[in-house]
């Protein structure tokens, strides 16, 4: 991995992790105002108990992304972040929100994809050739 890719990876990953941690804490604490807060979720039509689920998922995803190794869990964390942000973007669009209200989720989706794309080889899932798999198919 060259230096440029490593810098892009760490900037995207740290930015993503900080934002997911902050919004995860906001959601776990059921804070009313702010990005991802109770007011925002009610505006989008979601029940308040979803805040706890989102907060837990975000915090666990950040932990997995920042820990070394665990490549398969990292793939699940990246997928989860894509589902969360894709769902947030879709929800904002369906509610007729402006670009300014949708921008945060779009930025986090871009950061998720950038972090995934530029991740080092040690953080990627490696598949074994078919002849090494049980059954030898």
**pLDDT tens for the 137 residues of the chain, in order:** 799 999 999 999 999 999 999 999 999 998 887 777 888 888 888 999 999 999 999 999 999 999 988 999 999 999 999 999 999 999 999 999 999 889 999 999 999 999 999 999 888 888 777 666 666 55
Q: Which two tokens stand for residue 45?
A: 């039509």
What is the structure's pLDDT at 131? 60
What is the structure's pLDDT at 106? 96
Q: What count of Cα atoms within 13 Å lies in the side-chain half-sphere of residue 74?
A: 22
Q: Which two tokens stand for residue 27?
A: 């959601």
What is the structure's pLDDT at 102? 92
Please tell me the distance from the alpha carbon of residue 10 to that of residue 38, in angstroms, as a whole number.
30
Residues 71, 73, 74, 78: what is their CA dihedral angle, to the nearest 10 degrees? Answer: 140
Please tell me the distance from the alpha carbon of residue 34 to that of residue 40, in angstroms, as a whole number.
7
The model's pTM is: 0.86
With CA atoms as reference, report the closest residue to 88 among 72, 66, 103, 70. 103
Q: 66 phi and psi, to 5 degrees?
A: -85, -20
Please tell me the distance from the alpha carbon of residue 43 to that of residue 97, in angstroms, as a whole number.
10
């Amino acid at each position: 991995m060259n230096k440029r890719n490593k810098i892009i990876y760490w900037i995207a990953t740290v930015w993503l992790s900080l934002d997911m941690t902050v919004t995860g804490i906001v959601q776990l604490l059921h804070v009313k105002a702010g990005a991802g807060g109770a007011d925002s979720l009610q505006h989008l039509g979601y029940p308040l108990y979803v805040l706890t689920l989102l907060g837990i998922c975000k915090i666990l995803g950040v932990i997995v992304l920042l820990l070394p190794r665990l490549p398969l869990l990292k793939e699940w964390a990246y997928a989860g972040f894509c589902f969360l942000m894709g769902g947030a973007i879709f929800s904002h669009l369906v509610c007729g929100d402006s670009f300014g209200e949708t921008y945060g989720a779009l930025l986090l989706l871009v950061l998720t994809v950038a972090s995934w794309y530029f991740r080092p080889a040690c953080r990627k899932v490696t598949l074994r050739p078919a002849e090494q798999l049980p059954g030898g198919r």
